[in-house]
């Protein structure tokens, strides 16, 4: 492992995965310790509308360990628990949820856990 690694989500991601209906994208960099993703969710984005057709599951089955850089996301778990996350919030989110952008600003989230297979087309 190199002593210093620099990657840029804008100029050299390993993968770019667009969401349905041009409602955002996820950019992923692969590292020895796993993948790190940055997702940009555009206003109007909702997992059940814009990722479910890609994932093929009733709710998001990825676990997330993420940090919200900007915008706001509402997350509702399959069991009804819900919360809203905004800039500066760290979130742990178990599999089994829906989520959507709240407001007119894109939500930008870094995730160290759940994006390796997130919105991955077969």
Going by pLDDT thresholds of 50, 70 and 90, the confidence category of residue 114 is confident
Going by pLDDT thresholds of 50, 70 and 90, the confidence category of residue 1 is low
User: Is residue 85 over pLDDT 80?
Assistant: yes
Percent of the chain with pLDDT over 90: 83
- Which of the two residues, 67 and 118, has the higher pLDDT score? 67
Specify the fold of 15-107: Jelly Rolls (2.60.120)
Q: Where are the domains of the chain?
A: 15-107
Beta bridge partners of 109: 39, 68
């Amino acid at each position: 492992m190199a002593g210093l690694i620099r990657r840029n989500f804008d100029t050299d991601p390993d993968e770019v995965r667009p969401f349905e209906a041009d409602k955002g994208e996820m950019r992923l960099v692969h590292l020895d310790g796993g993948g790190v993703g940055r997702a940009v969710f555009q206003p109007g984005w909702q997992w059940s509308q814009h990722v479910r057709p890609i994932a093929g599951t009733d709710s998001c089955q990825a676990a997330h360990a993420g940090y919200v850089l900007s915008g706001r996301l509402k997350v509702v778990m399959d069991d009804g628990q819900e919360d809203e996350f905004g800039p500066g919030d760290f979130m742990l989110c178990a599999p089994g949820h829906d989520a959507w952008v709240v407001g007119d600003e894109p939500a930008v989230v870094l995730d160290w856990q759940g994006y390796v297979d997130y919105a991955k087309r077969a």
